[in-house]
Structure 1
């Protein structure tokens, strides 16, 4: 097992059988000690956050498998806080795909002249480049195609999968009296070039509310599995 990458919230290892092992950390993104799923830096460390994130990820990836949604997931070990996945190649240096059901976060900062905080959105999908230096700039379908990062047809697949996955997560939250405001997903290509969901689905990459109260990631896991 060889360490190939140490990320903000996970370490990545190459396994001898060709698969990849993800080791979840207790670090979460944010600024000044405050959690923020859209932040580019590690803001704080929360004991148990890695296991909490993995438990949710395992749950949602197995739900997606039932719906025949393509993902990189193979299996997970909660005791070791690891997940085994298929290898994937990312688009360019990586993309983040956000599905928004409410106007909050960076969407509100950019477009607050035209909407109030919490305004309902119709599963609005936006794509940003993973580029810390440039603060993950949003990018359009045409720009992605012209820069050779992905094709227009691939963008359409990305958007369709994003909405399907996000609606499934939103439904699961609704069953527990929760409201999914937005969720951040990542995608890559498998060995045959097919698009699949990668990374994780956890409280660390979504905003969820219970009424007017924001639900912290680890509290979210507790509610979801209660």
Structure 2
């Protein structure tokens, strides 16, 4: 598939712009639109561990589509334009900020080991963290002054990232609770439009969230792959099914 109908016109896929951990991004004949293809690939340790998992790309795309549409309906601006196949989407072309915004509702992952925290303790206030987006450097933590000094974002933009992340957390927490799922923590990426507006970007899936079944305590996210504790697609299927039932 090289061309699709979108917004009453034909959009044609162009050159491969880059390949990420679980997605490929292509240019199109419209400079404001990119073409995303989800891969059947799981990674850990910032891409150092990779494995092909059949059907994962389709699951990620379906979950991401549901969540982006849900956030759009709830007033959160983002780059998602529409799904064009089971594994492909069109998105708004953005200048991605080299910053990952992590929101933590409960202590988990390296937060526990780094701060000697009690695993799964509820965090109050909600913790927000910034990381420099660099696999080669293992995504180091950054504070506000470092980000501003290096020109990665302005003070006003950081305030915007914090606010948007809290709003997204509120919306997603409410949604997942309806699906009997606890949103433990998640990572977001944002980008600038040509006009300088900040939009939510990347994807929204169990690849960049920790999700736990409220009843059983079982992981429904990529931790299953990281810990080699089972078939990661089982949890992804469960998340998709439950979201389809409550959205």
TM-score (norm: length of structure 1): 0.89
- Choose 125-134 or 185-194, whichever is displaced more: 125-134
For residues 90-169 of structure 1, the aligned pairs below 5 Å read 90-91=96-97, 94-112=98-116, 115-121=117-123, 122-169=125-172
2:242 to 204, 223, 226: 223
SS for the counterpart of 2:207 is helix
Query: Does the CA-based 8 Å contact 1:203-1:218 persist in structure 2?
Result: no
Partner of 1:213: 218
Aligned length: 214
Bigger RCO of structures 1 and 2 (CA < 8 A, at least 6 apart):
1
Higher-Rg structure is 2
Query: Does the CA-based 8 Å contact 1:30-1:44 persist in structure 2?
Result: no
Query: Does the CA-based 8 Å contact 1:20-1:84 persist in structure 2?
Result: yes
**Structure 2 unaligned spans of 5+:** 1-13, 221-234
**Structure 1 unaligned spans of 5+:** 32-38
1:87 to 68, 89, 93: 93
TM-score (norm: length of structure 2): 0.82
Partner of 1:22: 36
Q: Tell me the distance in 2 between the aligned counterparts of 1:41 and 1:160.
A: 32
Q: Summarize deviations over 1:2-55 as a string: whole Å, max 9, x none.
A: 111111111110000221000000112225xxxxxxx44453222111111111
- Moved runs in structure 1, 4+ residues, more than 6 A? none
Q: Tell me the distance in 2 between the aligned counterparts of 1:3 and 1:174.
A: 38
